[in-house]
Amino acid sequence: MMGPKRRRLAPSSPRIKRKDVSDCEDSGDQAYTSSYKETSLKRKSQKQNKRRHKSKPDDDTLNPRTKSGLTRDNILHSKSAHLIQSPGVVRAALLRWYAGVHGSRGMPWRKSYDPSLGLEDRAQRAYEVWVSEIMLQQTQVATVIPYYTRWMENFPTIRDLAATNIDQVNALWKGLGYYSRASRLLAGAQKAVAQYGGRLPDNAKDMEANIPGIGRYSAGAISSIAYGERVPVVDGNVHRLLSRFLALHAPPKAKATLDILWDAAAAMVELEKSPVDCSTANSSETTPIERTQYAGDINQALIELGSTICKVRDPGCHLCPLRPWCRAYAEASPGLSKRTDAIPDIEDGCSLCEPLDGLFDVTAYPMKIDRKKPREEMDIVNVIEWSSSTRPDDRWFLMVRRPEGGLLAGLYEFPTSTNVSKATSCAAQTKFPHTLLSGLLAPTVLPYNKGQQTISTSLECLQIKSITAVGDVVHVFSHIKKTYRPQWVVLAGGETPPALKCGNDEPSGIPKLNLIDGGDDGSSTSLRPRGAMWVQLKEVANTNMGTGVVKVWNLTKELWERDVGGT
């Protein structure tokens, strides 16, 4: 049940430096076989074990979360150490634990599996699970719950979602971040309605292959939870849990590492021909959920255990139902066996695990990788305001829509000069608004002249009245550290918001102007083509913007509210 035991090499043995899987299998085996005979390894390992037992204090009660004194780089172990040897017993203990915590976090999408549901009801469950899984990517459960509730109120079925548009989807997603997730949900729903009768495919293979935004993990989660298909899942929580359970210290994104973890997850979800008797897992009682061992419950139990107990830092090993079989826990616990007896064949040695230098505990698993430092970029953000000379309180702001692909796809922002040099002078920055406005607006725009006293009010001609630096806003994406440098640009001229270019003169293919009515009083709150629009002051905060742009807007408002006493 514990799997093949490990043995330690004598201190004089060479350390195998493993850089990748392909190198390990050749050079690693040669290093072992050229330096030692298997019998010699056994003798040295046994002698070292005897010396260790003699020197070990009788009152050694170190907690497994403390440094154990065991150095992993001196442990030789079999490839089969990274297999779950008795998945039935482990699964039974896992499900017993999960039965007690199933509803503890109040997640509205988590429901008990009902095998009696018909096809339509299962498809509805698949939609609910899909929405929750996409929302939970890179986002905590407590944050997701209110967003999920609002989403299901507005789009209760996959057909309701497919019938909406990206603006409505982004409006509900606002504040949740990673907006590409929302656009993929919409695209996936539209394809499911168009090609699959308004239902997600009932198996993971077709789901992953044909529905946009659904990868191997999401397909496995949806198919197992909603349709009962016996397919594994490996997300970040399961990756960490199984890496510790198997004491797998290997490059976490390497194909060989992922293959081991997916195989282990599959072993957990696939029942044996003779299902284990749940009563063997140190309990006199069993529950229906344990006896049936539904695939979705097993997968959710693994995810829940990794999320709440086997955490990145400060894991609750004393609460873990898998502790008796956890190899990382055993290695980090001085009072437990370290599996030091010999492996059956030297060629069966694991060539994937990297050395662990010095002392370690269970949090040494999975193997840490050097995170790539986010690249740094600076954008000049032009918060462009226009107001009528006769109605100065009627203030409008120019916003443009980002492309449908890439970062913050489909969201609105203020006209921006992207990725400019941090050495750009203040004088150079004041020239950006004129360039942008000349491309977006139909009337002629006169350039900003700091010393100019007379401001044009011609209907055919606009004047940049003032440009005020606002201050820097730093916003960090997963791969970019973005510095937004906003400037408040006041535009004068005309009695209505300046027309946006259309027809042959429009920039970047912006379509013709459409008037959008929206105010509670019947007034127009935005004038826009698809790619750009004028938005009234009171509606700017309700526009679908990314978090960084919201920060820019709030900082700009503080500037004029403080200095000008604006709205």
pLDDT tens digit sequence for 284-298: 454 444 457 899 999
Closest CA to 265 of 224, 227, 226: 224
Question: Are 409 and 180 a contacting pair, CB within 8 Å?
Answer: yes
Residue 449 neighbours by CB under 8 Å, 6+ apart: none
pLDDT-wise least confident of 241-250, 285-294, 470-479, 555-564: 285-294
Asked whether the CA dihedral 390, 391, 393, 398 is positive or negative, the reply is negative
pLDDT top residue among 452 and 388: 388
Q: How confident is the model at residue 356 (pLDDT cuts 50, 70, 90)?
A: confident
What number is the average pLDDT over the span 359-383?
Answer: 88
What does pTM read for this prediction?
0.73
Measured distance CA(383)–CA(416) in Å, rounded = 9
Highest mean pLDDT among 169-183, 444-458, 509-523: 169-183
Instruction: Select which of 133, 304, 385, 506 is catalytic.
Output: 133
Going by CATH, does the domain composed of 86-233+263-320 fall within 3.90.960.10? no
40, 45, 47, 48 alpha-carbon torsion, rounded to 10°? 140
Contacts of 157 (CB under 8 A, 6+ apart): 124, 127, 198
**Size of the chain, expressed as the number of residues it contains:** 567
What mean pLDDT comes out for the span 109-115? 93
Q: When comparing pLDDT for 256 and 12, which is higher? A: 256
Phi, psi of 409 (to 5 degrees): -55, 130
Give residue limits of the domains in the chain: 86-233+263-320, 375-563
Tell me if residue 133 is catalytic.
Answer: yes
CA 235 to chain centroid: 10
First to last CA, the chain: 70
- Which CATH class for the 375-563 domain? alpha beta
Averaged pLDDT, 106-130:
96
Are the beta carbons of 444 and 460 closer than 8 angstroms? yes
Mean pLDDT of all residues in 155-182: 93
* Coil, helix or strand at residue 516: strand
